Amino acid sequence: MAPGNSAAVSHVGKIRANNQDSGYAGEYLFVVADGMGGHAGGDVASAIAVKRIIETDRQFASGTDAEFALHTALTAANAQLAETVFDHSELTGMGTTVSGLVLVNGQVVIAHIGDSRIYLLRQGELTQVTADHTFVQRLVDSGRITEEEAAVHPRRSVLMRVLGDVDATPEIDTSIMATQPGDRWLLCSDGLSSYVSHDKILSTLTSFEDTDAAADRLVKDALDQGAPDNVTVVLVDIDESGVSAHTPPVTVGSAASPLVFDGDTVRKPLRLPALLLHPLKVTKADDSHFEPESDGYLNELILEDRRRARRRRITWLVGIILVVLAILTGSIATYQWTQTRFFVGASGGNVAIYRGVQQGIGPISLSTVYRTTSIDLDELPSYSRTTVEDTINATDLEDAERIVEQLSDVSN
C-alpha cells in the first residue's frame, strides 16, 4: 500500500502562544484532540489522551471489538488525566476533546467527546457525523436557538462534556458506520470548523485529491480566516484495498513533543516584558472551556440567554426612542429658528410683516402675520406691489420695519 492515503497536520494558528491540539494518523487509528483549561494545561491534556488512545492502533476482528477498545481507551485517558492533576495541582481544570476513528473491515468505528468533529465526504456530499457536546448545540437541539444563532453565540465555546479531572465516567459517544471506497473522512478541531465554512471545507476536500495537499489547504483556509485558535486536520481516504495506513504513523501538535510538566521548568508564567512586547500572543480568542454538566449551570445559561434576548429588545426600543427624540428635537430647533426670521408680504390687500419663513413643510405653514400695516397694496407702484406679493426677505424685525418704511415712502 502506497503511503498518502491519509494525512495529519496541526498548526498553532495566528493568535495562540502554544498548540493545545494533538493529532494522529496511524495504521488503523486516526484521532484529533483539542486540549483546554487549567494553567496552560491544555497541551498536556490532549497529548496525554492521544498518547493513551494510540494503544488502539491495531487490527480488530470486529467493529464491536474496536468500539469496546476505543471506549476503554478514552475512559483510561480520562482516568490518567485525573491522576496527572492529582500529582500536579497546577494542571487542575485541564481537559480535552477526543474524536477518533478506527478502520475495521469496511467499517469505521467512532469514539467522540467534545466539540472536535468528524465529517464524511461521500459522492460530493459532506456530512458531520459527530454531534458537538456544546452548550449552544443543546440550545439548538431543544429548539431555543437556530444553527445560525449558534454559530455567533457568545457562549459557543462552552463545552458540556470533555475528558478531564471532573467526571470519573464521562459520557462518550461511540458508533459503527459502514465505509466504502471513495469515502474521505475528515477529523478536525474547532479551529477549523468554527472559522472555515462548511461549503469552503467541502470545496477544498473535493479540489485536492492528494490527502496531504488537501489537509495543508484546509489549514491554510483557517489561517486565511485569521486562525484565532489552534487548527488540526486529519484526513483518511478509503480505497479498494480498504487500507489507509499512514506509514510510518504520524503524531502532530502537542502530542508530538515529549510530555514535560514538572514545576516551573516548563510552565513559566508570562513575565511582564513579554506581555508588553507581544500583547497579541496573550490575547485569548474565544477560549474553549469546560463547564460541569449540572442542571444549575444549564439553567443559569438559559436564563442568561433570555436576559440577553431581553437586553437586545430593550436596546432596540431605546434606539428607536432616541431616533424619534432626535428627529423631534431637530424639528423643534428648526421651528424655533424659523420664528426668529421676518419677511414682508401681502395680507388682506395690505402690506404686512410676517414672522417665520416663506417656505412651509407640505401643508404646514411656518409663518404668521406679525403686523398688518396701513399701506394699501393698491397705493403702491406696480413694481413694488409685485415685489411685496412675491415677499421681501428681511434679516430681522428691524430690517422688516425699514422695508415697510420705504414702501410707505413710495406709496401715494
* Sites of contact with Ca ion (CB under 5 A): 34, 189-191, 229, 288
Quote the least distance from Cβ 16 to Ca ion, whole Å. Answer: 9
User: How far is residue 384's CA from residue 371's CA, in Å, rounded to a whole number?
Assistant: 19
C-alpha pair distances (Å), 161 with each of 131, 170, 174 = 11, 7, 14
Give, for 331, the enclosing helix (H) or strand (E): helix 295-338
**Can you tell me whether residue 233 is helix, strand or coil?**
strand
Quote the least distance from Cβ 270 to Ca ion, whole Å. Answer: 20
Grid coordinates representing 96 are: 480535552
User: How far is residue 128's CA from residue 403's CA, in Å, rounded to a whole number?
Assistant: 84
Angle at 388 between CA 352 and CA 349, to 5 degrees: 55
Burial class of residue 39 in the structure, from the number of CB atoms within 10 Å of its CB (0-12 exposed, 13-18 middle, 19+ buried): middle
Select 165 or 229, whichever has its Cβ closest to Ca ion. 229
Select 252 or 404, whichever has its Cβ closest to Ca ion. 252
Quote the least distance from Cβ 104 to Ca ion, whole Å. Answer: 29
Select 189 or 225, whichever has its Cβ closest to Ca ion. 189
Q: Exposed e or buried b for every residue in 383-396, given b needs 16+ CB within 10 A?
A: ebbebbeeebebee
Q: Which residues contact 105 (CB under 8 A, 6 or more apart)?
A: 62, 63, 242
The residue among 264, 182, 198, 188 whose CA lies nearest residue 219 is: 188
What is the longest distance spanned by two Cα atoms in the chain?
123
The residue count for the chain? 412
Quote the least distance from Cβ 107 to Ca ion, whole Å. Answer: 29
Select 191 or 253, whichever has its Cβ closest to Ca ion. 191
Select 18 or 391, whichever has its Cβ closest to Ca ion. 18
Quote the least distance from Cβ 156 to Ca ion, whole Å. Answer: 11
Quote the least distance from Cβ 36 to Ca ion, whole Å. Answer: 7
Quote the least distance from Cβ 211 to Ca ion, whole Å. Answer: 22
Quote the least distance from Cβ 296 to Ca ion, whole Å. Answer: 26
Angle at 12 between CA 9 and CA 17, to 5 degrees: 160
Select 191 or 356, whichever has its Cβ closest to Ca ion. 191
Select 22 or 244, whichever has its Cβ closest to Ca ion. 22
Select 56 or 288, whichever has its Cβ closest to Ca ion. 288
